[in-house]
Homo-oligomer: A and B are copies of this chain.
Amino acid sequence: MEKNRADLIVKARFVITFSDDEKDVVEDGAVIIKDGRILDILKINEAERLYDAATTIEGENHVVLPGFVNTHTHAAMVYFRGMADDLPLKVWLEEHIWPAESKMLSPEFIRDATELACLEMIKAGVVLFNDMYFYEEASAEVIKKAGMRAVLGAGVLDFPTSIAQNTDEYLQKAETFIKQFRDDPLVVPAISPHAPYTCSPETYKRAISIAEKYSVPVHTHLSETQWEVEEIKKLYGATPIEHLERHGLLRDFMLAAHVVWPTEQEMDILARRGVSVSHCLESNLKLASGIAPVVRMMKRGVRVTIGTDGAASNNDLDVLGELSVVSKIHKAMEGDPTVLDAKTSLKMATTLGYEALGLANVAGRLKKGMAADLIMIDLRKPHLMPLYDVFSHLVYSAKSSDVSTVIINGRVIMKDYKVLTIDEEEVYTRASNWKKRIQEAFNG
């Protein structure tokens, strides 16, 4: 019998599909990939009988699963990682982060820093991330070179910075960026009104209009701190989510980062409007912002996903590391060890991330026709022995350093722990050089 021709076959002891129409786990499975897409998922012996491929990856002691999704970050902030810790939020922002940004941000800075962030995320099995920052066209350049998938939100503020003089200019820059990348296969441009305390309702309205015009997502911070809640009450007489709702500014293509302090009513609003949430637990813990009521939001039907926030506040871009804490902490918060079981948690960090970013039809599940965005986790580690339940091991025991192989849009980006699209040594040298410039800018 003539075999069908594929580009790539990935074999594994377990294939986690999260494909609702069939089994969630295929043991001794194989993913057949052609032209960047999944042709089929079969038992290994079936795959061998039916398909030939230019390349086969043998994953005897591996799990294959959809890659991790980081639904909220400021990737280029990796260059500020560990520059200022253990400080009150106001001091951290006003005396360290904002001055650093105002002195340093440039397309070159963003490009080089984002490449380091891509290297870190690829090594941690992150295949898709949702960014909010500035000069996103410079980010897009290195992200495409790295082969990652990303949603890039051009930042909008109501006050002048080195990026733009006024709201009009921010919005104009965002629209130009969106037009430039709207047909890109890997990078989805987006618009990012920063937060209710830095953007007026009118600015949100204009940002949403641009998003609707080009069918792109909106990415914003929302209800992060108790200070924000009080500030928005003072300014507008309502809590942050209620405030946006009153102005008709919530949409199902909107992703809200943090949402630490929603009222019961606000959770219902988010569910009703289809707004997705990025839970940035480690950042919220480290900055003492609080712990979001994730289980209660999920019970009301809010889609909750996992974000790392920027590396200046977390201090890494490790979605699996974040998940490991998320999956445990809410059991204690609810006083119930049965909530957020391992499988539910794993979906928050994978499938639901694609859904939240409007990419449910692109990837996030391993099934026929989907883009091949997947990772392999190496089970040959002492902390993954013995194995009773693969979901338990992935969520409660695996580390991001167990990710051995990363495939995005059918392209092998990392193989056997080696990133193929980025020169690590060059990235490290540039990071070290930029650090010197940052320190000189502060001390000079």
Q: How distant is A308 from chain B, measured CB to nearest CB, in Å? A: 11
When C-beta atoms are compared, the residue in chain B nearest to A226 turns out to be B335
B83 touches A388 (CB 8 A): yes
- B324, B341, B435: the one contacting A321 at CB < 8 Å is B324
A81 touches B386 (CB 8 A): yes
Also in contact, A120 and B331, with CB within 8 A (given A392-B315, A393-B82):
no
B-side contacts of A402, CB under 8 Å: 401
Q: Does A35 contact B (CB under 8 A)?
A: no
Q: How distant is A442 from chain B, measured CB to nearest CB, in Å? A: 10
Also in contact, A331 and B286, with CB within 8 A (given A315-B392, A341-B86):
yes
A435 touches B387 (CB 8 A): yes
Query: Number of residues in A with C-beta < 8 Å to the partner?
Result: 71
Question: What 0/1 pattern do residues 386 to 398 of A give for CB contact below 8 A with B?
Answer: 1111001100110
Q: Does A116 contact B (CB under 8 A)?
A: yes
Q: Does A351 contact B (CB under 8 A)?
A: no
A342 touches B86 (CB 8 A): yes
B316 touches A383 (CB 8 A): yes
Q: Which has the most chain B C-beta neighbours within 10 Å: A288, A311, A341?
A: A288
Task: Report Cα–Cα, A65/B255, bound state, in Å.
Answer: 42
- B85, B331, B382: the one contacting A288 at CB < 8 Å is B331
Question: What 0/1 pattern do residues 143 to 186 of A give for CB contact below 8 A with B?
Answer: 00000000000000000000000000000000000000000000
When C-beta atoms are compared, the residue in chain B nearest to A115 turns out to be B382
Q: How distant is A274 from chain B, measured CB to nearest CB, in Å? A: 28
B-side contacts of A291, CB under 8 Å: 332
Task: Report Cα–Cα, A383/B336, bound state, in Å.
Answer: 33
B-side contacts of A399, CB under 8 Å: 318, 321, 399-401
Question: What 0/1 pattern do residues 49 to 80 of A give for CB contact below 8 A with B?
Answer: 00000000000000000000000000000110
Q: Does A92 contact B (CB under 8 A)?
A: yes
Question: What 0/1 pattern do residues 101 to 140 of A give for CB contact below 8 A with B?
Answer: 0000000000000001001100110000000000000000
Identical chains in the assembly: 2
Task: Report Cα–Cα, A282/B124, bound state, in Å.
Answer: 21
Task: Report Cα–Cα, A385/B315, bound state, in Å.
Answer: 11
B427 touches A382 (CB 8 A): yes
Q: Does A432 contact B (CB under 8 A)?
A: yes
Q: How distant is A107 from chain B, measured CB to nearest CB, in Å? A: 19
B-side contacts of A327, CB under 8 Å: 286
Interface residues of A in 421-439 (CB under 8 A from B): 424, 427-428, 431-432, 434-435, 439
B-side contacts of A286, CB under 8 Å: 327-328, 331, 337, 396
B-side contacts of A424, CB under 8 Å: 382
Task: Report Cα–Cα, A387/B434, bound state, in Å.
Answer: 11
A383 touches B435 (CB 8 A): no
B-side contacts of A428, CB under 8 Å: 380, 382, 385
Q: How distant is A172 from chain B, measured CB to nearest CB, in Å? A: 33
A288 touches B337 (CB 8 A): yes
- B318, B340, B383: the one contacting A120 at CB < 8 Å is B383
B337 touches A435 (CB 8 A): no
Task: Report Cα–Cα, A257/B305, bound state, in Å.
Answer: 34
26 interchain pairs, CB-CB under 8 A = A79-B386, A81-B383, A81-B385, A81-B393, A82-B387, A82-B388, A82-B389, A83-B389, A85-B342, A85-B392, A86-B337, A88-B338, A89-B337, A116-B385, A123-B382, A286-B396, A289-B332, A290-B332, A290-B335, A315-B392, A315-B397, A321-B324, A329-B329, A385-B427, A385-B428, A399-B399
